[in-house]
Structure 1
Amino acid sequence: MKKVTITLLVSLIAVCLVSTHCQAKSKAKHVVLIGLDGWGAYSVPKADIPHIKQLMADGSYTLEKRSALPSSSAINWASMFMGAGPELHGYTEWGSKTPELPSRVLNEHGIFPTIFQVLRDARPEAEIGCLYEWSGIKYLVDTLALSHHAQAPDYNKYPEALCNMAEKYIKEKQPVLLAVCFDNPDHVGHQAGHDTPGYYAKLKELDTYVGRIIQAVEDAGMLKETIFIVTADHGGINKGHGGKTMQEMQTPFIISGKNVKKGLEFHESMMQYDVASTIAHIFGLQQPQVWIGRPVTQVFK
């Protein structure tokens, strides 16, 4: 009997140690992902974006993250959230609402696995949200895996609405994972053109919203336990995107906050679908076999 008791005790201790180790793998309690549609990496050195540049100084970044092809919206928002490219998730056009190619795998909600669903499966009670301006986002995030999702009203009439929604949600709900998807500077890129005074004016405006979201996280008492990610789906050239120029394909990836190295510019290869994998890594989650993304582990302490 003594041997059986000792064996059981050792087993219980081993289970506890494994559980503790799994919990310790989490890098932060919260992740706030801020996406700026149409934000090309080429613009960063010239842009007046003090809040974003402070995140760069306080964290790690690359200006060489590449989009999936074609370098346009639905393809790349899907890749960002789904940890794989269009060959696997199947969203292949600018405004895809459903996959044009059969998704390689479908989850229980009938959609390719997203970071939101992977987190939901691991933490059923987690507060998970997505707020956006472009209606196309809702087809790519697996809304059934979210606690809350909402589209902001017309930006032209209510330019601060999405920021206001994000501030309110953060302070009221303290989400574990929140994606805030702004539909600019893409619109200005199509109207005034990329790399124009109007484009840089819009980036300056958006930077104020990033600053307000950071402040909301601090006001909610989450700042010390949060990792911020600021990135984009694609860049652009002239008044368009979707092609194979570096201005269209290279986007910034900025990560800052708890357990992130400071002042690191990294040059290792990063693809759009590595964003989902990096978020999974932050939360200590095992990513689905069908994902091809790799976490950018070099940015963490």
Structure 2
Amino acid sequence: MPTPTGFPSHTPTITLTPSATKTPTITPTFTATFTPAPTLTPSATPKPAKADIKRAVIISFDGMRPDAIEQAPMPNLMELMAGSAYAPLTARTIDYPATSPSHASMLTGYCMEDHGVIYNKFFMYMGYAKGTDVFQLAHEAGLRTVMVVSKDKMRQMAEPETTDVFEVAYGEPAIQKAVLPQIEQDFGLMFVHFAGPDNRGHKYDWMSGEYLKVLREGDAVLGEMIKTLKAEGMFDTTFFLVSADHGGHGGNHIGTTIEDYRIPWIAYGPGVVPQILDLQIYTFDTAATVAYALGLPIQPDWDGIPVYKIFGEDQLRIHEKYPCKT
């Protein structure tokens, strides 16, 4: 009979001793071989790197001042900030701090005189923002592109053929209803725009109770977006860039104080090194940074510069001065 695997082998030796009963005596001999078990060393889970980024979402809270985040408060955004690279004081919009021109710079990477969106309203005859914007690059690379906005004039920011989905949703509940199914279908580049802070700021004043309340409502939608990304197994491969088109004071943002120009700029995701950024950042750097995060080609004529520093890399270029004429 063969020896069962895993048991010690034994070879019996039979010795015959003369006796009255002539009963054989069996003396077993055992040979055991023991192999020590390997020592198991638990390996640390590799930290996600920039190369792990599969999608990016740009979130704009229209008219949100950086100092409103904690005052509101916005707990979901603050949780992202705890692991993010963000600029609390050194990010600003263009010299014309209005919704359409500023968002055009945010998404195209150009100054206002280059993208041509010089009015804060949109009629079809005006056409679309000029130049190669980040949505065009993403679409040409085969990424699914989505825009969910709460002002219809945001259509001017990117040409229709570069956005697979463009949906206007008025109010935070409507934005949530529109954006969550798009996350579940996956995407390559998404832009989500909350108009509430700007609307409430004009009606009730910036930093008023109503202004802060709508920021909390938008933050709740952000929380649902994060929850959905996690449920779909996509959160750890998603790059976030949260910002605004302008700030505001009193009931307007006409550019008379720094609060009108200063914007939040928060980057979170694979490879991002948590830090406070103290270099000068402009809103057109958003397009360049998102393109770099997604591995898309940086356009040589862009006024925006990728903020390489968020990934722990050398900042190859900086803004020595404001590059725009207007």
2:167 to 143, 150, 154: 150
Determine which structure has greater relative contact order: mean sequence separation of CA pairs < 8 Å that are 6+ residues apart, divided by chain length: 1
Letter aligned with residue 160 of structure 1? P
Aligned letter for 1:43?
Answer: A
Alignment counterpart, residue 80 of structure 1, candidates 84, 106, 109: 106
In structure 1, C-alpha distance between the alignment counterparts of 2:52 and 2:280, rounded to whole Å: 22
Tell me which stretches of 4 or more aligned residues in structure 1 moved more than 4 Å: 24-27, 96-100
What is the root-mean-square deviation in Å for CA atoms of aligned residues? 2.0
* Counterpart check, 1:212 vs 2:224: yes
Determine helix, strand or coil for the equivalent of 1:189.
helix
Give 1:96 shift: 4.4
User: 2:237 is aligned with what amino acid?
Assistant: E
Q: By how many angstroms is 1:292 displaced?
A: 1.1
Q: Describe the shift of the 1:246–1:43 C-alpha distance in structure 2 as closer, same or farther (beyond 3 A).
A: same
Q: Which residue of 2 aligns with 1:66?
A: 92
Structure 1: runs of 5+ lacking an equivalent: 1-23, 104-108
Write the deviation string for residues 129-178 of structure 1: whole angstroms up to 9, x where unpaired: 111110011111222111111111x43xxx4011121111101x210111
Tell me which of 125, 131, 135 is aligned to 1:112.
131
- In structure 2, C-alpha distance between the alignment counterparts of 1:133 and 1:228, rounded to whole Å: 19
| 1: CA distance, partners of 2:116 / 2:167 | 24
Matched, 1:165 2:165: no
1:89 pairs with 2:100: no
The alignment-based identity, stated in percent, is 25
CA distance in 2, matches of 1:205, 1:283: 29
1:97, 1:140 within 8 Å by CA — same for their partners in 2? no
Structure with the bigger percentage of helix? 1
SS of residue matched to 2:280: coil
Counterpart position of 1:106: none
1:91: Cα distance to partner? Answer: 1.1
CA distance in 1, matches of 2:50, 2:237: 14
Q: Which has the larger radius of gyration?
A: 2
Q: Secondary structure at the match of 2:282?
A: coil
Write the deviation string for residues 198-246 of structure 1: whole angstroms up to 9, x where unpaired.
1111111111111111111112221111111111111111111131411
CA distance in 2, matches of 1:276, 1:300: 16
CA distance in 1 between partners of 2:215 and 2:129 (Å):
36
Task: Say which SS state the counterpart of residue 180 (structure 1) adopts.
Answer: strand
Helix, strand or coil for the counterpart of 1:288? coil
1:31–1:177: 8 Å Cα contact kept in structure 2? yes
Counterpart Cα distance in 2 of 1:296 and 1:97:
34
1:30 counterpart (55, 62, 66): 55
Letter in 2 for 1:207: D
1:283 aligns with 294
**Aligned partner letter, 1:255:** A
Distance 1:110 1:273 in 2: 13
CA distance in 2, matches of 1:245, 1:96: 26
SS at match of 2:263: strand
Asked if the contact 1:65/1:253 (under 8 Å) is kept, the reply is yes
After TM superposition, list the pairs within 5 Å mapping 1:234-245 onto structure 2: 234-245=246-257
Q: Structure 1 residues 210 and 265 mapped into 2: Cα distance closer, same or farther (>3 Å)?
A: same
Q: Which moved more, 1:57-66 or 1:68-77?
A: 57-66
Aligned mates of 2:125, 2:116 — CA distance in 1: 5
Contact in 2 for aligned 1:70/1:93 (Cα 8 Å) = no
| Gap runs ≥5 in structure 2 | 1-48, 313-326
* Distance (Å, rounded) in 2 between the aligned partners of 1:201 and 1:69: 28
TM-score (norm 1): 0.82
Contact preservation (8 Å) 1:111, 1:142: no
Q: Structure 1 residues 82 and 97 mapped into 2: Cα distance closer, same or farther (>3 Å)?
A: farther
Q: Is the 8 A contact 1:83 1:292 kept in 2?
A: yes
